Structure 1
C-alpha cells in the first residue's frame, strides 16, 4: 500500500508498505481522507516537540471500516473518523477520565505512525461513527474537536467577552464554538487575508490584524476591561507571552497551541488579575460527538472551512506550496 513517510525534516517520500494485520479488538480502516494541520507542518519543518523520525504523519482522518471483530457495533463500509489520541487506560489521567492528557499517550502521526497510508489498524474504541457526514466532513472532525475541547476547558458562557489569538484552523474552530455559546468573540492574527476569510466566509463577527493600535482596539472592544477568556492558538511563544496582558481581572487564559519555548510572564500582573491559566490538550470522545452533531445540524460551515483538496501521493510537493501560501489555506485535505 502507498504510504507517505516524513524521513527527516523537509523530506517526504512515497513508500510501498505491506498491508497491516488486524489484531483482536482492532478495526482496520481504509483511509479515504487525511487533513493537514499545524502539527503536520511542524513535523515537516522539524520543530514538533514530541516526535522522532521517520514518521508517517496524519491524525485528521476519515475512512471506511474494512475489517472488525464479529459482534462489533461498527459495520464494514461505514464512514468513520478516528480519535487519534490513544491512551494507556491506567495512568493517573486515565483514572480521572482524562485520556486526552494520558501520561503515556500515543498520538497517531506523532508518537506512532499515522494515517497517510491506505489502510490503518487502530483500537476499535478509537473509531467514531460519522454517519450522515461526507468523507471531507469526517476528516475535519478532529481539528474542530480540539477547538471544542478548548472552549469547554475555558468554561465559556454567553456573558463572556472572548479573544482568540490565531486565525488558523484551530483558532477558527475555537472562535466558532465560542460563538455557539453566545459569547462576544474577537479574533486576531498577523494575516489580514485569513481574518477576512474568517469574517466574510466563516462568520466570525469581530476580527483585527496585529499592528499599531491593536491594544487600543482591544480595550475599546471591552470598555477598557480586556477579555474574560483569552485563547492562544498561534504556535508562537512570543504571542503566548503577549496574551497575558489581554486577560481581564478575574479572567481565564487557555493555551491551545504547543511550543518548544519556555514561557515567562510578569508574576505581579498575573497575581493582581488572579488569572486562571489553563492548558488544553487534544480532545475527548465527548468533543468529537459534539462536533459531529454541529456538522449534522449545519451550524458548522464545513464546505467553507475546506479550502484545498489534493491526492495523497502529491503530498511531498503540495505541502511546500501549502506552507508558502498559508494565508490562503484554512483546511487542506488529502484524498485517497
Structure 2
C-alpha cells in the first residue's frame, strides 16, 4: 500500500508498505484523509525529540471501515465513516489509575512515538475506532485536533458568563473557542493574524485582540471591566504567550496550557501566589471530547471549508509541508487525500 514517510528532516517521500491484516478485536480501515498537525511539522523540521526517523506521520484521520475482525462487538459496520483515537494508554501509570488515560505516562501517539496512518490502510483495536455518523471522511480529519481544544475547555472547568481568553487561533485554539462559546462563556480570541481573528469571531468569539497591533493588557482590562480573564487557554507554546497568560488571568483564575514552549520561560512567580492561580496542563483528549466535537459538527454550523487550507495527494505532500514551514501563520489544516 502507498504511504507517506518522513525519512529525514526536510525529506519526505512516498513509499510502499505491506497492507496490514486484521486480527481478533481489530478493525481494518481504509484511510481517506489525514491532516498534517504541528507535531508533523516539527518532525519535518527536525525539532521533535520524541520521534525516531523514518516515520509515517498522521493521526488526524477520516476513514471508512473496510473489514471487521472476530471478537469485535456489535456497532461497527463495513462502510461506516469513522475517525480514530490516536493515543495509547498503559493502564498502569498514575494517570491511567486516575482515569485520565489521555495523559498516560507511556502514551504513544500515532505519527509521533509510533508510525502514523498517512497510508492507504490501517488496523487498530476496535476501542480506538470512533463512528462519526454522516460526517464525511474529509471532515472527520478535523475532529481530533478540535477535540484537543475541547478538552482544554473541560480542564479549565469553563462555565457560562465567564471571560475566557484563548491565545492562539490555530486549529486547536479554534476548538477551544467553539467549546467555550457553546458553554456560554464570553470568549476573547488573541492572535497575530486578522484573518484568523475574523474566523474566530464566526466560530464564537465575542471579542478579538491582535497582539501584534494592539496593547493586549489594556484591551483585556477594557473588555473584562478591569478584572482580567477568568480562564486563559494558552494554545501557542511560546515564552511570550505563557507570560501573557499569567499576566492577563484574573485573581483566583485558571490558566490552561496546551502549547509546548521550546525554550525556558521566566515568570513573575509572585502572580502565582498573589492571584492564587490554578495552572493546569491539557494533553490530548478523552472519548467524551471526541463525542462533543462530533455532535457539534453534526449540527452543521461548523464552517469546515474555512478550516481546510489545502488538500494534497501523497505525491504533493512534500511541497505542501514545505509551503507550511515557510508560512505557518497562514495555515489551519492541510489534508492529504489517500
Post-superposition Cα deviations, 1:268-289, rounded to whole Å, max 9, x if no partner, equal 1110000000000000111111
Equivalent position of 1:6 in the other structure? 6
CA RMSD of aligned residues (A): 1.6
- State which of 306, 310, 328 in structure 1 corresponds to 2:308: 306
Question: Which structure 2 residues correspond to residues 1-336 of structure 1 after superposition, within 5 A?
Answer: 1-70=1-70, 72=72, 73=74, 74-199=76-201, 201-211=202-212, 212-336=214-338
What is the DSSP-based 3-state SS (H/G/I as helix, E as strand, rest coil) of the residue aligned with 1:81? strand
335 and 186 in structure 1: CA distance in 2 versus 1, 3 angstrom threshold: same
What is the DSSP-based 3-state SS (H/G/I as helix, E as strand, rest coil) of the residue aligned with 2:270? helix
TM-score (norm 2): 0.94
Post-superposition Cα deviations, 1:35-73, rounded to whole Å, max 9, x if no partner, equal 122222122112224222211110101111122223533
Cα distance in 2 for partners of 1:122, 1:86 equals 11
Cα distance in 2 for partners of 1:132, 1:315 equals 27
Cα distance in 2 for partners of 1:26, 1:94 equals 22
Cα distance in 2 for partners of 1:27, 1:112 equals 18
Cα distance in 2 for partners of 1:247, 1:125 equals 38
Cα distance in 2 for partners of 1:269, 1:91 equals 32
What is the DSSP-based 3-state SS (H/G/I as helix, E as strand, rest coil) of the residue aligned with 1:265? coil
Cα distance in 2 for partners of 1:148, 1:265 equals 27
Cα distance in 2 for partners of 1:98, 1:305 equals 29
Bigger Cα displacement from structure 2, 321-330 vs 154-163: 321-330
Post-superposition Cα deviations, 1:168-193, rounded to whole Å, max 9, x if no partner, equal 11111111111111111111112223
Post-superposition Cα deviations, 1:121-153, rounded to whole Å, max 9, x if no partner, equal 111100001111111221111011101111000
Please state how far the C-alpha of 1:8 moved relative to its aligned partner: 1.9
Contact in 1 for aligned 2:3/2:16 (Cα 8 Å): yes
Contact in 1 for aligned 2:10/2:44 (Cα 8 Å): yes
Please state how far the C-alpha of 1:298 moved relative to its aligned partner: 2.1
Contact in 2 for aligned 1:49/1:260 (Cα 8 Å): no
Contact in 2 for aligned 1:188/1:207 (Cα 8 Å): yes
Unpaired segments ≥5 residues, structure 2: none
Bigger Cα displacement from structure 2, 65-74 vs 239-248: 65-74
What is the DSSP-based 3-state SS (H/G/I as helix, E as strand, rest coil) of the residue aligned with 2:336? strand
Post-superposition Cα deviations, 1:270-328, rounded to whole Å, max 9, x if no partner, equal 10000000000000111111111111122433233223212133101111112334343
What is the DSSP-based 3-state SS (H/G/I as helix, E as strand, rest coil) of the residue aligned with 2:31? strand
Please state how far the C-alpha of 1:162 moved relative to its aligned partner: 0.8
Contact in 2 for aligned 1:30/1:65 (Cα 8 Å): yes
Cα distance in 2 for partners of 1:135, 1:203 equals 25
Cα distance in 2 for partners of 1:124, 1:32 equals 18
223 and 297 in structure 1: CA distance in 2 versus 1, 3 angstrom threshold: same
Post-superposition Cα deviations, 1:86-116, rounded to whole Å, max 9, x if no partner, equal 1122322112211101111111011100011
